[in-house]
Amino acid sequence: AQAVFGIALGKADEISSARFGGVDSTFMEDPSAPFEYAPLVNTDYWTVGYAGLKMGSKDIFGTGATTAIVDSGTTVALLSTEQANAVIAELKATTTGLTVQSNGIAFYDGPCPTGAADVTVSIAGANGNIDVAIPSSQYFELIQGQCVLRIMGSPQLVILGDVFMRNVYSVFDQGNSRVGFKKAKAIKK
């Protein structure tokens, strides 16, 4: 077996998968396409270079983090405080009814807005940037009648949790100190 594990994270109505010692092509949109790899910049966590962030076509990278942790155990996308605030400002400018609490949680009372722009995360890959688009259906979640934004700010860390990972099949390659990404295929339960 290889020193790798592959992860596909699905939404509540989709199947998730973890394969230790290899990958599961069932969860890849195009199994024959090569993985795009990002070298680890810190081996304490699965930390990769963080190259930028866009909302729609608007660059909102700002200042702050140059690295990001890829973590299946984090349920949100934790961005720099400046980036999270820029995403919230863009949503306030293009939608109505967004409330932001003092703890940083943002939500709409009622259904999630339609037509919000994709958020695209750029990771520093071995062969150029790896861009992963996160549609609004992934960064919003309807919880007990409220539409919660699953993007939050942090003064110190960027963590690309399941909001990011639901869009890619990820292979964690310990033997080569890298993380690989490929477009995921959702499989309904």
* Cα–Cα dist 96/77, whole Å: 22
For residues 69 and 158, the answer to whether their CB atoms sit within 8 Å is yes
Task: Quickly tell me which residue has 């010692």 as its tokens.
Answer: 21
For residues 119 and 134, the answer to whether their CB atoms sit within 8 Å is yes
For residues 35 and 181, the answer to whether their CB atoms sit within 8 Å is yes
Q: Rounded to 5 degrees, what are φ and ψ at 7? A: -130, 135
Lowest mean pLDDT among 19-28, 111-120, 172-181: 111-120
Reported as a single tens digit per residue, the pLDDT across 59-116 is 886 556 689 999 999 999 999 888 888 899 989 888 888 898 888 889 998 889 888 8
- What band does 182 get if pLDDT is binned at 50, 70 and 90? very high
Nearest to 133 by CA among 26, 56, 66, 67: 56
Please give the share of the chain, as a percent, with pLDDT higher than 90: 61
Q: How far is CA 41 from CA 5, 6, 50, 126, 161, in A?
A: 19, 20, 10, 11, 18
pLDDT value of position 181 = 97
Q: What is the DSSP string of 20-54?
A: ETS--GGGBS-TTSPPEEEEEEETTTTEEEEEEEE
Task: Quickly tell me which residue has 């509540």 as its tokens.
Answer: 12
Q: How far is CA 70 from the centre of its chain?
A: 8
Average per-residue pLDDT for the chain: 91
Please check the confidence at residue 41 and state whether its pLDDT lies above 90. yes
* Cα–Cα dist 52/158, whole Å: 11
